[in-house]
Chains A and B, each alone.
Chain A
Amino acid sequence: MAVAAPVQVQGQSRTQRWVQNRPQWLRDTQVFRRRTITFLQRAFTYIVLVDIAFVFLVPIFYILATSLKTAQDLTDPTIVWFPSGFFWVNYPLAYLAMNYPRSLANSLWISLGAAIGQTISCAFVGYGFARIRFPGRDALFALVLFTFLVPPQTIIVPLFILYKNLGWINSYNPFIVPSFFGHGLKGALFVVVFRQFFKTQPWELEEAARIDGASAFGTWWRIMLPLSTAAIVVVFLFSVVWHWNDFFEPFIYLNRMEHFTLPMRLSVLSPSLDQVTGGQAGDLFNEALVMAAVFLVILPPLAIYMFTQRFFVESIDRTGLVE
């Protein structure tokens, strides 16, 4: 029994003294009780954790299981989860129907371009808000928060007109150019994240750099930015993921199928399958095919997540998102 030996300390109450010198049998049962309670608590925690994980995993299992079903499997009431065999042919069909390489390239172009833009610009702007005192700073920062609240639909009409006049419709500029100004999809949020991050950093390095004659830009670029990999990774990943999954704006600004991103392709799956197979979509198009396409769409982010989940999960603590 790894129980601390009873120690007599002066000035304790009678109860405390009794507790410390209680008989061994009582000590044993108490240890047993405590251990049982800890065990039960832990078991309960695991059960609840598994339950919640189930909620998040079940759609993925569903997508995978359904994508491997044949047309008969889909209507067979005895087959709920597991298909009668691995019916892979849905995957090449979905691949062709979605024009996968092209759509993947489109998605990557938008997500990576916008994510690079947002990471650089938001780090730059966030530093200004966090570390430099200037008149009107707080009012400007209030504006940053304000932009987060404006629903994109409120300004979509003028933006559409603006981009149309610039000739940006059916190009990726509406996604990438604003991101280099710290705007775009949830840009305000990223500015806030960087501001919070820079606020938690120590002043000493920066002051040393300034005394040695570095400019403000030099301090940011050479001293602060290399220190902020945690924030950079988080912002970059979130920006990629959110742009990848974005839906509203791509559908406004892109209306030719060859420009569609991967998720957008899902909504035109049936007509494009028709095109690819020469009018045979009626026989081939079913739930299983849709789920195969869905799986192909979630595959790239899933793969990225497999390698980067550590950053999602852990580096939040290090970004000082919450002061």
Chain B
Amino acid sequence: MKMRVRRNEPSKPMAGGAAGAGGAGGAGDSNNMPPVSRRRMSLSFQRTLEGYFFVSPWALGFLIFMAWPLFQSFFLSFHELQATSLSDLKFRGIDNYKEAFFIDARFLPRLKDTLQQNLLDIPVIMIFSLFSAILANQKIRGVTAFRAVFFLPLVIGSAQVIQQLFDQGVGGAVLSRGVNIQELAFQYLGPDAASGVEGILNRLLFVLWKTGVQMLIFLAGLNSVSPVLYEAARVDGATDWDRFWKVTLPLLSPVILVNLVYTIVDSFTDTFNQVLQYIQQTAFAGGFRLGYAAALGWVYFAIVFIILAVVVRVTNRYVFYAGDRSS
């Protein structure tokens, strides 16, 4: 009440003026109309101000810690910069980019390796995390204990710890102790397959260790599927298998997209990523070539961005948004 009275006050003279122009008969109407519209305008304006108030810290941080560095790194990528003082800049044009693609013999092979490895890892992570999320979502006794174990790598799987384990060969060797899978593969499938199997086995443990967040997101998604739908499917005679393909998967498809995006970003910014390690070396270990490192960073970012755009576009076609009826 107090607010309303206060808001009406400044518009009174104007309302009076309008009433005077319109004549005595319309005084009642026009006395009310202008203040109401004025109040609505100022309310939406107030809302806008509040909105900016709430997002302002983020926007400010964005300018300082993201937009400006991004711009500056783009600027640097066309320059030569050896030390961290910006005064001794030397313009190089697109030479940095040319060097990355045509001269540098170390960048492209690493890029290819990274792409190949992620192409292999991402489907494994997705399928495994969906599979274990479905298992961890079963309503059976002791399942929370298993869930707790499944998220362990999330808590302790720091890159340094993984590196130490990796150095000691805790990978395929530990998982397959007792059964020499590499030898079996060598005997029956040939040396090429054996090295492939070895590579997969050695990485498998660490790839599976990266599934914590994805599993969590899938679990949340599975929980949001209404049990009514399962009930309906059961009444209609659907088996568990049918229900997975015709109820769970379509309803989970938005979550799958979210997870896919997360996994792609996560895998491409992984600490063991060779390209990123190379960028870091170029910038800080190998003679402080900061301009060139910035160019490499931009090339890599562009590639990841294109991959994401393609994946999202293609996947979005298969995503089923439940309850999204033109609202």
Chain A interface (Cβ < 8 Å from any Cβ of B): 42, 45-46, 48-49, 52-53, 55-60, 62-63, 66, 80, 121, 124-125, 127-129, 132-135, 137, 140, 143-144, 147-162, 164, 178, 180-184, 187, 191, 213, 216-217, 220, 241, 244-248, 252, 263-264, 266-267, 287, 290-291, 294, 297-298, 301-302, 304-305, 309, 312-314, 316-317, 319, 321-323
Contacts and interface: CB of A to CB of B under 8 A. Distances in A.
Interface string B117-138: 0000000000000001001101
B308 A149 contact: yes
Given A132-B51, A150-B70, A287-B168, A178 B300 contact: no
A124 B57 CA distance: 9
B164 A266 contact: yes
B250 interface: no
B45 to A, nearest CB: 10
Interface stretch (B24-32, B182-190, B230-238, B291-299): B291-299
Contacts of A151: 268-269, 276, 297, 300-301, 304
B107 to A, nearest CB: 13
A57 B57 contact: no
8 contacts: A56-B150, A56-B153, A59-B165, A132-B54, A181-B61, A183-B58, A316-B216, A322-B223
Q: Is the interface of B mostly helix, strand, loop or mixed?
A: helix
Contacts of A263: 158-161
A56 B149 contact: yes
A127 B54 contact: yes
A180 B57 contact: yes
Nearest to B224: A322
Contacts of A319: 220
B84 A213 contact: no
A288 B153 CA distance: 21
B124 to A, nearest CB: 12
A152 B301 CA distance: 10
B283 to A, nearest CB: 6
Nearest to A129: B55
Interface of B: 2-3, 47-48, 50-55, 57-62, 64-66, 68-70, 72-73, 76, 84, 86, 132, 135-136, 138, 140, 143-144, 146-161, 163-165, 168, 170, 174-175, 177, 205, 208-209, 216-217, 219-221, 223-224, 254-255, 258, 265, 268-269, 271, 276, 279-280, 283-284, 290, 293-294, 297-298, 300-301, 304-305, 308
A161 B88 CA distance: 13
A62 B59 CA distance: 46
Contacts of B217: 321-322
B135 A49 contact: yes
Q: Is the interface of A mostly helix, strand, loop or mixed?
A: helix
Contacts of A157: 73, 76, 283, 290, 293-294, 297
A247 B151 CA distance: 20
Contact of B146 (A53, A59, A248, A321): A53
A200 B208 CA distance: 32
B159 to A, nearest CB: 4
A287 B191 CA distance: 31
Contacts of B269: 151-153
A160 B170 contact: no
B57 A182 contact: yes
Contact of A133 (B51, B61, B155): B51
Contact of A55 (B61, B138, B175): B175
Given A149-B265, A245-B159, A155 B297 contact: yes
A132 B50 contact: yes
Given A164-B84, A294-B165, A321-B217, A154 B174 contact: no
Given A266-B160, A323-B224, A302 B155 contact: yes
A33 to B, nearest CB: 15
A298 B69 contact: no
Contact of A301 (B132, B155, B205): B155
Contact of B57 (A59, A121, A312, A322): A121
Contact of B58 (A182, A297, A305): A182
A235 B96 CA distance: 40
Given A217-B53, A298-B156, A154 B58 contact: no
A80 B170 CA distance: 12
A148 B69 CA distance: 15
Contacts of A287: 168
A104 B219 CA distance: 33
A56 to B, nearest CB: 5
Contacts of B223: 317, 322
A58 B183 CA distance: 22
Contact of A264 (B60, B160, B209, B294): B160
B158 A49 contact: no
- Of B47, B143, B147, most buried by chain A (CB within 10 Å of CB) is B147
Given A48-B135, A154-B298, A183-B61, A297 B151 contact: no
B293 A181 contact: no
